[in-house]
Amino acid sequence: MKPSPRPSIAKLAPYVPGRPIEEVEREYGITGAVKLASNENPLGPSPKGVAAAVAAASGVNFYPDGSATYLRRALSSRFGFPSEQVVIGSGSSELIDLCMRAFVDPGDEVVVPQGIFRMFPVAVGRAGGTIVEVPTKPGHVPDLDALKRRIGPATKVVAIANPNNPTGAYVPRAELERFFEGLPDHVVAVVDEAYHEFAREVADYPNALDELRKGRNVLVLRTFSKAYGLAGFRIGYGFTTPEIAAAINKVREPFNTTVVAQVAAIAALDDEEHCERTVSLVRTERAFLAAELARRQAVVNPSLGNFLLVELPIPFGPLEPEFARRGVILRPMGGWGFPLAFRVSVGTHDENVRFLAAFDDLLANGKLGLPAVAVPVGAG
Ligand SMILES: Cc1ncc(COP(=O)(O)O)c(C=O)c1O
C-alpha cells in the first residue's frame, strides 16, 4: 500500500503559476523574452522598498518580528484601523488560505462568483470545504444578488475579487452596499482588492473598507505585489474585525513574513511616486492594448486591473507555445474556465508593442482564428 493524501487533497487541482522567463527561454532557445503572464509591475519594484530591504539584509540572522508590529502600525495609521484589525500574510494569497483554514471545515461551503481568482477554489479545497461557483452576469460581472441567495446554513465564507483576476470585471459601489445589507451574520465576506490601486479612481468603484467601518464581518485583502512591485518578497495585508483577525492569527505560521519583506513593505507604502507612476502607465497602456486588440477583432473584457482577458474564436492552449517561440509569455486561461482565452498583463509600451507584433505575426499566418487583415500597430 502506498501513502495516500487526504481524499480532499487527492482530488485537488493545484494552482498553476506563470512560468519563469528563464525556463521559457531555455525551452524555446530564445533570449530577451517578455513576461506578460503574472500581472507583475512593469516598472519594477518600489526603489524605496528595495533600498530598505537591502539595508535590512544584514540582520537576517535574527528571526523576523512574527507580529509584523511596525508594518501593522504603518498600515493602521495610513488606513485608520487599529493594529488588531490588520493581518499580514506571505502575499495576500496566504491570507486567502488562512481565512479558509480558520473558518472552513469539511462539509462547509464557500460561495463565490464563477471565474474568481483561482487561489480561492484551491484554498477551499485544501481546507476540505466545498466551493460553490455562482454564474456571473454579462461581462463576467459577479451577480451579488445570486451570490446572496445561494448562502445557506453551511456557508461559512462568501468571496469576491474586486476587480477580479482574470476577468478584470468589478462590482460597483451601490451593488456592494446592497449586498452587505442583510448579509447573514454567520458568514465572513472576503473582498479581495489586490488591484485596488489601479481601480480606485473610477467613480463607482467601491472601497470595501467602508463596509468594515460599518462593522460588517468583512475581510478586505490588499497586496504589495502589484502597484508596489514587491511580488517576489511575498507580502500582503488585510483589514478585518478583531475577531476574524484573531482567528486568522491562530492558524498563521508565527514567522510567516520575512524581515526584508516587512521593511520593504513599510518603505514602499511611502513610495507614492512609484505607485502613481505604475498606475498611470497601466491605465494608458491598458487602453492602448485594449484598443489594438479590439481592432483585430479579439474580444477584450473591460478591466480595472493591470491585465486583460482576451478571447479568441479558437482554443488558446495550442497558441501559448507559438507566442513563447516569438518571445512573449502569456497565460492560458483554460484551467481557469476560459478555454478560448488568454490573459495578458499590461507591460511597458515596448513590451506591449512586442506582444502585438507576435499577435500580428500569428494573425497573418491565419493561426488565431481571426480575419487576417493588415493592422499596423497604432502610434502609442
Ligand atoms: C485577485 C488576486 N488576489 C490575490 C492575489 C495574490 O497576490 P499576492 O499573493 O502576491 O499578494 C492575486 C495575484 O495575482 C490576485 O490576482
Query: 224 CA to middle of ligand 1, Å?
Result: 9
For residue 263, report the distance from its CA to the centre of ligand 1, in Å: 20
Residue 39 Cβ < 6 Å to ligand 1:
yes
- d(CA 95, ligand 1 centre) in Å: 10
Phi-psi region of 237 (alpha: psi -120 to 50; beta: other; left: phi over 0): beta
Q: Are residues 210 and 342 in the same domain?
A: no
Same domain? 73 vs 164: yes
Ligand 1 mutation target, pool 165, 234, 309, most atoms within 8 A of CB: 165
209: number of Cβ within 10 Å: 18
Q: Look at residue 93 and tell me if it is in a domain.
A: yes
Rounded to whole angstroms, the Cα distance separating 66 from 257 reads 7
Per DSSP, what are the bridge partners of residue 160? 191
Query: Is 165's C-beta closer than 6 angstroms to any atom of ligand 1?
Result: yes
Q: Is the CB of 262 under 6 A from ligand 1?
A: no
Q: What is the pLDDT along the chain (380 residues), one digit of tens a residue?
A: 899 999 888 888 888 888 889 998 999 988 889 999 999 999 999 999 999 999 999 999 999 999 999 999 999 999 999 999 999 999 999 999 999 999 999 999 999 999 999 999 999 999 999 999 999 999 999 999 999 999 999 999 999 999 999 999 999 999 999 999 999 999 999 999 999 999 999 999 999 999 999 999 999 999 999 999 999 999 999 999 999 999 999 999 999 999 999 999 999 999 999 999 999 999 999 999 999 999 999 999 999 999 999 999 999 999 999 999 999 999 999 999 999 999 999 999 999 999 999 999 999 999 999 987 766 666 44
Q: Please tell me whether residues 177 and 292 are part of one structural domain.
A: no
pLDDT confidence of residue 380: 42
Strand partners, 117: none
Do 136 and 114 form a contact (C-beta atoms < 8 A)?
yes
Atom of ligand 1 nearest to the CA of 117: 1
The number of domains in the chain is: 2
Identity (one letter) of the amino acid at 314?
I
Q: 120 CB less than 6 Å from ligand 1?
A: no
Q: Which stretches of the chain are assigned E, i.e. beta strand?
A: 34-35, 86-89, 109-113, 130-134, 155-161, 188-192, 218-223, 236-239, 299-300, 307-311, 328-329, 331-332, 341-345
The enclosing domain of 263 has a CATH number of 3.40.640.10
CATH number for 332: 3.90.1150.10
Cα-Cα-Cα-Cα dihedral sign, residues 219, 224, 225, 230: negative
Cα of 40 from ligand 1 centre, angstroms: 10
Same structural domain for residues 125 and 17? Answer: no
Centre of ligand 1 to C-alpha 374, Å, is 37
- Residue 92 in contact with residue 223, Cβ under 8 Å? yes
310 lines ligand 1 (CB under 6 A): no
| Integer-rounded Cα radius of gyration of the chain | 21
pLDDT at 376: 64
- In this prediction, residue 374 carries a pLDDT of 61
Judgement on whether residues 12 and 99 belong to the same structural domain of the protein: no
d(CA 206, CA 176): 7
Nearest alpha carbon, ligand 1 atom 12? 194
120, 76: one domain: yes
Burial class (CB in 10 A: 0-12, 13-18, 19+), 379: exposed
Q: Does residue 201 sit in the same domain as residue 233?
A: yes
| Domain of residue 108, residue span | 47-271
Q: What is the distance between the alpha carbons of residues 338 and 301, in angstroms, rounded to a whole number?
A: 12
C-beta 303 within 6 A of ligand 1: no
- Within 10 angstroms of residue 185's Cβ, the number of other Cβ atoms is 7
The residues facing 35 across adjacent strands are: 329
Nearest residue to 316 (alpha-carbon basis) of 297, 332, 299: 332
DSSP 314: S
Residue 122 CA to ligand 1 centre (angstroms): 13
Pocket test for ligand 1, best of 36, 38, 87, 93 (most atoms within 8 A of CB): 93
- Looking up cell 482574470 gives 166
